[in-house]
Amino acid sequence: MTFSAYEDNMLLRLRDRRKKYEVITYDGNTLLRIREVAFMTIMSVINQKGGVGKTTTVLSIGARLAAKKKKVLLIDFDSSGNLTLACKGEGRGVCTAYEMMMKTCTAEDAVQNMPGGYDLIAANTDLAGAEGQITDAVGKIYRLRECLSEIKDKYDWIIIDTPPNLGYLTVNALIASTDVLIPSEPDFLSASGILDLVDSTIRSIKNYANSNLRILGIVFTKYTANTNNSKAMSVAIKSIAENYGIKIFKTVIRNNVAVKNSQSEQRDIFQFNANANAAKDYAALVDEIMREVKKNG
Ligand SMILES: Nc1ncnc2c1ncn2[C@@H]1O[C@H](COP(=O)(O)OP(=O)(O)O)[C@@H](O)[C@H]1O
Ligand SMILES: [Mg+2]
């Protein structure tokens, strides 16, 4: 092996890991000194049930991380385009996730700089057609990972909003990710949905396509502390999660009308009212997620 092949190999292996590194010295022989620069996280927010707060969670976490001076890219990977709408991105007449997946534009072309300090790759209904139109039968589930490889080093966090099913787009998102966050309402259907998700889809992605994928945990959304149902179901979900060794975040996102109101004004919860309960909860969740990511490297 030549030294340069050695170097390439080394960097390739490093690139596969979730930390970002910077080469400090390379003396032309075997010495390669590197410095860890930062953690890089690509987080899919998934749950096959609709209306559980995926889109709200992606936008709120993204806005909060950007306010903490992190470089953030949000990807709308749901053909309903809810995230694009919620943060007032351009859904038409620009390169979107669809064109990126079809390779008629690059990921970089599709990036929009948003006023909240984060970047967005938008989506519209065209995205639903991508699966049928990509002819590379094997490569197509790796397509998002391939698209992101050219831009991921620019970001500290890439957060992917996914559709309410475990189909092609969600599989692409999971293969491209280092981490998974599962928002869930504390109710029975959501609990059983999580079981299915972890047992089938995530397990097979880990087995066949992305062995490093980590389940960060489950976060309860739309939480109302006083109802017996919420309490009983939290207990039920906690016991399911324990069986699977999955963390339940201590922070819960309270049910808060400010979320809906902020979305009808197309602003994130922090721009709308940083004192709203949901804003405080999402701020606490970001702190808890950052601790978790750091702890596990
Ligand atoms: N914490 C919350 N309190 C009140 N309403 C919420 C909360 N989180 C989400 N919602 C509302 O619930 C609906 C579904 O949320 P959304 O984030 O779009 O879920 P998903 O992406 O999983 O379909 C939206 O109308 C949203 O405004
Ligand atoms: Mg959504």
List 74's β-bridge partners, or say none: 120, 159
Q: Which residues of the chain register pLDDT less than 70? A: 1-39, 188, 191-192, 226-231, 233, 296-297
Cβ atoms 185, 237 nearer than 8 A: no
pLDDT of residue 101: 98
Residue 145 is predicted with a pLDDT of 96
Ligand 1 lined by 201 (C-beta under 6 Å) = no
For ligand 1, say whether the CB of 60 is within 6 Å of any of its atoms: no
**Which amino acid type is present at position 251?**
T
**Residues near 272 by beta carbon (within 8 Å), at least 6 away in sequence:** 258, 261, 262, 265, 279
The pTM score is 0.89
Q: Are 185 and 222 in contact (CB under 8 A)?
A: yes
What is the whole-number distance in angstroms between the Cα of residue 146 and the centre of ligand 1? Answer: 30
Query: What b-and-e string marks burial along 254-268, b requiring 16 or more CB atoms within 10 Å of the CB?
Result: bbbebbeebbeeebb
Ligand positioned closest to the Cα atom of 76: 2
* Residue 254: both structure tokens together: 């309270």
Pocket perturbation via mutation, ligand 1, pick of 56, 58, 160 by most ligand atoms within 8 A of CB = 56
Contact 262, 272 (CB under 8 A): yes
Chain region(s) in the chain for CATH 3.40.50.300: 40-296
What are the φ and ψ backbone dihedral angles of 245, each rounded to 5 degrees?
70, 35
Cα gap 89→142, rounded to integer Å: 26
- Give pLDDT, residue 241: 79
- Indicate the residue type of 253: I
Give 81 Cα–ligand 2 centroid separation in angstroms.
8
Region of 53 please: left (phi>0), alpha (psi -120 to 50) or beta.
left
Per-residue pLDDT, 229: 63
pLDDT of residue 193: 73
DSSP 111: E
Assign domain 40-296 one CATH number from 3.30.450.20, 3.30.360.10, 3.40.50.300, 3.90.870.10. Answer: 3.40.50.300
Which residue has the least CA distance to atom 8 on ligand 1? 53
Tell me the two tokens of residue 251.
Answer: 């922070």
Which alpha helices (H) appear in 48-199, and where do they start and end?
Answer: 54-67, 82-86, 97-102, 107-110, 130-133, 143-149, 168-176, 188-196
Contacts of 197 (CB under 8 A, 6+ apart): 46, 47, 48, 166, 182
Sequence-distant (6+) residues with CB within 8 A of 259 are 56, 269, 276, 278
